Structure 1
Amino acid sequence: MDTEVDALVQTAPVPVARRGPLRLKLLVLSGEQAGRSHVLRPGVVRLGTSSTSDIVLTDRVVSRQHLQLEVTDERVVATDLGSRNGSFHEGVRFTELEVRPGASLTLGTVVLKVVPEDSRERPLPLSSRRSFGALVGASVKMRELFTVLERVAAGGGDVLVQGETGTGKELCAEAIHHESTRASGPFIIVDIAGIPPSLMESELFGHVKGAFTGAHGERAGAFERAQGGTVFLDEVGELPLELQPRLLRVLERRQVKRVGANDYRTVDMRVVAATHVDLEQAVQQGRFRKDLYHRLAVLKVVPPPLRERVEDLPLLIDAMLERLRRPPSALSEQTRALLAQYPWPGNVRELRNVVEQAIHLGEDTLPPMEAPSGSTRMPQGALDAELPFKEAKERLIEVFERDYLQGLIARCDRNISRAAREAGIARVYLRKLLTKHGMMLVDDDDSRD
C-alpha cells in the first residue's frame, strides 16, 4: 500500500485527548516550497518573504512580514501583520485567530497546514485542479481530496468512500473509475439499500437456472458484469451480515459463486464501496464484520461536508447554473447572500435542489432558509433581523461579494483578467470590488510590500 496515500486519505482534524504540552509542525501544501515542513517551537514565529523571517516564503503575493504565530504549550495564535493581501482560514480573512491542529491557512497562494509534530501526514503538494470528474471545488479541503483521488484512481486498489449524505460519494466513485486504467470498462452501480433482501444475493453474485423459484435462466451478478471495470457498492453498511463473508471472499480472492452453482468464477474488477454509516461503530455493535471493514478500508476517502468548505459555494452555484444552461446572473445577489448563511445539512445535494427550485419556480418560492435544530448559521455576516431592512440587505450583499470574490480568484489562479472575463464584469469594477474587500491579484503592480 502507498504510505503517502495512507497518510493523506483522512485529512480532517480528529479531537484527541492530549497529554503534555502541545507539539505541532507546519506543512507547506502549495507553492514553490510545497513539501516542506517546519516544527513549531514555543515562542514567536514570523512568516514572510523577508530574509529575516523565521519561515521565509517565496510567493510574490506574500508580504515581507505577513503572519506571526505565537506558539505556547497550550495553543497557537496567528496574527496577520498588516499584510497587503491578507491571511485566510477556510476562505475567511482574519486578523487574529487561534489555530487548532488540522487547520489550514492561506497566505497569497501558499497553503499551510498545522498538524501534530508526530503526525504521519506528509506535506504533499495540493492538487492544482478545480474539479475532479463532476466534483467541483477550489477550497483547501477539496484540493486535498483531489490529491487523494488522483493517487487512489491510479493505484487500482479497492476504495471505501465514507461521508455524510449528499457530499458526493457516488461522484467520487465515478471519478475514480473514469480516471483509472479501467475507464474503458463498465461502471456497475449496486444500490444495496434499495434492493430487497430476497434479491440481494442474486444481484451481487448472480444465479444459475433453477436456483430458486422464478430463476428461468442464468444471470451474471454485479461483479461478473463489471469484468474489466468497477463495481460501486452504494451504502455497503446496509449489506446483510449473512452476505458479508461472501463479499470478503470477492475482495480477497476475486472469486464469486452464483446462487445454486457449485464452482467459483474468477472476476477482474475493482470495488469502490460507499457509506454514510460509521462502520467502526457498526463493527462494535456487531452489525458489520471487522475483517470486512479492515479489508474495505485499506484506502479510505472522506469527502468533506459543505459546511467545511463554505468558500466553494459560489463556484458550486455557478457550476449548477451552467449545467442548467443559465448564466451566473440567473440567481440574484440577494438570494446568493441568503444561501451563504445556511449550514447545508443536506450538503451539495440540498444546495442543488434549492438552486433548481429557484431557477424553475422562481426565487420567491424558496422556503425560509432556517438552520436545523442543533446547528448554527454560518458565522460570517450573519443576518441580524433587528437591523433596518436596507442595512440588513447591504450586509448580506457584502457577505455574498466577499465569498464570491474569494471563490472567483481561487479558481482563476488569482489572475485579474481571467477573473473579470469569467465573472462577466469589467476589470475596473472588479478592481473596485477587490479593493473594497481588501483583496488584490497577482498581476497588480502593487501586489506585494
Structure 2
Amino acid sequence: MNTVLIKNAKIVNEGKIVLGDVLIENEWIVEIAENISPKSPDCKIIEAEGQYLMPGAIDDQVHFREPGLTHKGTIASESRAAVAGGITSFIEQPNTVPNAITQELLEDKYQIASTRSFANYSFMMGGTNDNLEELLKTNPKNVAGIKLFLGSSTGNMLVDNQEALEKIFSSTKMLIAVHCEDEGTIRANLERYKAEFGEDIPVEYHHLIRSEEACYLSSSKAIELAKKTGARLHVFHLSTAKEMALFTNKIPLEEKQITAEVCIHHLWFTDADYKTKGNLIKWNPAVKTEADRDALWKALLDDHIDVIATDHAPHTLEEKQQVYTKAPSGGPLVQHAVVAMFEAHHQGKISIEKIVEKMCHNPAKIFKIEKRGFIKKGYYADLVLVDTAMPWNVKKENILAQCGWSPFEGYNFKSRITHTFVNGNLVYHNFKVNDQPFGKRLLFDR
C-alpha cells in the first residue's frame, strides 16, 4: 500500500484555511484531521511546515498539440509542465491534426494519454458545420464536453453556419464550450491593417484586429442562442470589459446554465506589453487594454466569471518570431499559472481561498468531475503544496514545456510549487518530475 502523511499544512478548501494533516492511502484521501499519527512504519511522512496545501488545479482549456503538431508539444511534455505547475487535471481541445471531430479520432487521443499523461486528462469532442451525428454519440460520462470554434481556427473547425449551430445547441444536453470571436469583423479589420502595413503589421494592433467588437458580437450571439435553446454553455477566455454584462452573479454556480472563464494572460498582460513581449503575448482572443484587464479582475472577484484557466498553446520560438500575419497565436502557461495567481495574491488582488475556488473547485463543479477538485475524504489525492516564501526565477533551464520559452521568462515569482500529487503519487518535487506518468481519464457525474 502506498501511504503518505502530509503533516502541518495550511489546508485550503471550500473557503477556509485550516492547519492540519492529510493521510493518503493509494489513490485516495482517507483522513483529514488536526493531528494524524502514521498507521504503519512504511508510511512516508512529508512535513509541510505551514505551507499551503490545495487541491490540484483543474485546467479546463489546454492545447497539448498531439497528434499531428508534436514539434510544438506532446501530451507527455506538456502534462509534465502542468504537474510542475500544480495542475493535476486538464481538458484538452480538439484542434489537433487531424481534428478530433469523430468518435474514433477522439478516442485515439485518449489512448495516447492513457500511457503518457502525467496529469489526469479529458479531451473535448470538436463540433463542425456538418458533424452533428458524431457529436450526439459523445458519452457524457467520460468526455468533458463539446467544443465549438466561433472564430477562426485549425482545419474544418470554424462553425459559422447558423442552422448547424442551432441544431447543435438544441440537440445535446452536454456542456458546450465556445471560442467567441466574430470572423467577419476580424477579417475586415485585418484587411484594413494589411492595406496599411502589408504582412508585417506591428503586433500592437492585434487587439484592434481581434477587437472588443469581434468578441462581444460573437459571445452575445452564443449566449442568446443558449438562452433560446436551453443549452448548457461555457464561454472560454473572455477578454473584454464589454462582455462582462452578459454574465450573472445573482445565482449559485450550480444553478448557472451559462458560465464563464478567464485566462491567466488576460489577467496579467495588457496591450502596453506588446512593445516588450511582441508575438510572445499574441493570443486569440487578444490581450487588450488595462481597463479590460481591470474589468476582468472585478468580474472574477464578484463571481460573474467562474473559472481561471490557461489556454496553454505552445508554439516554437521560430514560429513566434515570424511576421505578424504568419506568427501563430498562443503560448505556454501551465507551469506558471498557479504561481502567477499566488503572485496576484502577494499583490493584494485575490485571496488564496478564491484562487482555489476558481482553479480547483469551480472547474470540478462546472464539468461535474467525479471526486476531484476538493480536499475531502474519499476523493482522489490530487494535491499541491505551495511555499509562499520561496522565490525563484523563470529561466530557460527550468521551463518544462517542449517549446522551451515562456512569456514569464525572467520573472521572479515569490511562491513555488514544492510537491504535486496525482492520484496519491508524488509526481513532482522541487523542479523534478517523476519519470512515471500516473494520470487517469477523468470521469463525470452526469
TM over 0.5: no
TM bracket (short chain): under 0.3
TM-score (norm: length of structure 1): 0.25
Structure showing greater relative contact order (alpha-carbon pairs closer than 8 Å, 6 or more residues apart): 2
